[in-house]
A and B are shown apart, each in its own frame.
Chain A
């Protein structure tokens, strides 16, 4: 497993955030991400930053682990920062180097936007860090349930999603196994020209695909053998249940929203 895979990988735990109903988490995060874009003043950012920090503390996820997990996103955050500095040309010039000028408004905007992006990424990765993929799928199925009335295949979509999630680690293991087997036969994925390296992927991809097809067939058989017939009338082993914790979380979130509306006025 490579380090970049840590992005939002579920960390089992028993914190306040872990024990929340996944639906509560989904609703809060989805709406939070939308509300985040209405922040237009530093007090708003301060409020949201505090909310994020409180959530991190409550989730008991270690901060270095969380920050390491979002490593690949740093590039976009930095890129956004510089794009806004370059594009915005309002207010006083703070600093100048040839054709490159930093405006007061530009600096302010770029800090705001990249900070917003950072909060967004940290917050959403908090969801996947504290919620098992299956819980997220169940929550989605439950929240999107009403759409079944218009004949949308919500159960099937949720099933597809959970099967794909279930097989990611399996495929990762398989990839590692096969690449080790081929490395033992002299395949070198790390050196050579780009063309060489692309060719070196063929011995990895073909067995991987063949294995995946076989596994899909086996899974379909196994499901049918155990009487799977689709979502009609199917009950859940772990039914989702709101608890007092969810009420506390909802109240906390609503207070933040009210404060935000107050600040904006």
Chain B
């Protein structure tokens, strides 16, 4: 499903002394099947933005369209449930949403609410626990007996079990150990490639942004600071500093080597491996 924001603004608690404008005239377009990374400092409006994608929030002004859905919803006939079935959101620390007696029940909670037929349930359960890499023995246990990392996997499995067309992820790897982090990012990446799921990821890890994003949106104080391909975003170092973000380590290192040895190389989106090769070969030219 494609997602279009058109001059969207959102104000919390309008007409009270607590009024706070969280989004100002935000416009962008996410084509179906894209992998988009949204970055921005804390409080820049990322979470507010995400909550528009399945109608948890409705714009104070402007328009949001998600596939055939239009927000704000003016007609009462439109069911948000159908939209929420197609757009899965995993919030920060999704393990806080676990509540059911067993892992199985909790994972199938979403599909049950969305009216998936009983006969498909077992199949879906098996599918998602293998996707996220959960041990089959765990499914009859209480989710509260599990470790933090396992709970996270259960929660993510619960979102995937509804088979959304769009997956919205708010810092899904925060607080995970390094290996689980990589595994989880690889899972989202392969889901995106194989099932053609439109993926929207909020992250503070610039490495992840560089590695996975087709397209990046940089938010700052509720406005779009810049948007474009990761290469273009990361080539504008000064603009990134303005919004409290750093370059990915590989690019940062590349720039530093470039400066120290006066190499005059440019970054055009090469992989770290290719960058290394370029550096070596131009260092070789210098010494010869």
Contact = CB atoms under 8 A, between A and B. Distances in A.
Interface string B56-100: 100000000000000000000000010011001101001011111
Contact of A185 (B16, B96, B113): B113
A182 B113 CA distance: 10
Interface string B130-146: 00000000000000100
Contact of B109 (A6, A203, A207): A203
A211 B144 CA distance: 12
A65 B17 contact: yes
A197 B208 CA distance: 40
A248 to B, nearest CB: 27
Contacts of A185: 84, 97, 109-110, 113, 158-159, 162
A178 interface: yes
Contacts of A186: 81, 84-85, 109-110, 112-114, 162
Contact of B96 (A1, A6, A188, A211): A211
Interface residues of B, number: 28
A187 interface: yes
A206 B56 CA distance: 21
Nearest to A183: B56
Given A183-B84, A186-B110, A203 B99 contact: yes
B196 interface: no
Nearest to A187: B113
A225 interface: no
Interface in B217-250: none
B273 interface: no
Interface residues of A, number: 23
B17 A11 contact: yes
A185 B99 CA distance: 12
A181 B162 contact: no
A180 interface: yes
Interface in A197-249: 202-203, 206-207, 210-211
A1 B162 CA distance: 29
A166 interface: no
Interface string A152-187: 000000000000000000000010011011111111
Nearest to A64: B15
Given A186-B110, A203-B109, A1 B18 contact: yes
B44 interface: no
A143 B25 CA distance: 52
B54 to A, nearest CB: 6
Contact of A184 (B13, B88, B99, B112): B88
Contacts of B94: 181
Nearest to A206: B99
A79 to B, nearest CB: 27
A207 B97 contact: yes
Nearest to A210: B144
B76 to A, nearest CB: 10
A22 B279 CA distance: 69
Which of A3, A11, A181, A210 is packed against the most chain B CB atoms within 10 Å? A181
B91 A181 contact: yes
Given A1-B18, A185-B113, A203-B99, A180 B159 contact: no
Contacts of B112: 186
B109 A184 contact: no
Interface string A1-21: 101001000010000000000
Interface of A: 1, 3, 6, 11, 65, 174, 177-178, 180-188, 202-203, 206-207, 210-211
Given A1-B13, A181-B91, 16 more contacts: A1-B18, A65-B17, A178-B96, A180-B51, A182-B97, A184-B56, A184-B88, A184-B89, A184-B91, A184-B159, A186-B85, A186-B109, A187-B113, A206-B99, A207-B96, A210-B144
User: Which 5 A-B pairs rank lowest in CB-CB distance, beginning with the nearest?
Assistant: A186-B113, A206-B99, A185-B110, A181-B97, A184-B89
18 contacts: A3-B16, A11-B17, A65-B17, A181-B91, A181-B96, A182-B97, A184-B84, A184-B89, A185-B97, A185-B109, A185-B110, A186-B110, A188-B81, A203-B97, A203-B99, A207-B96, A210-B144, A211-B96
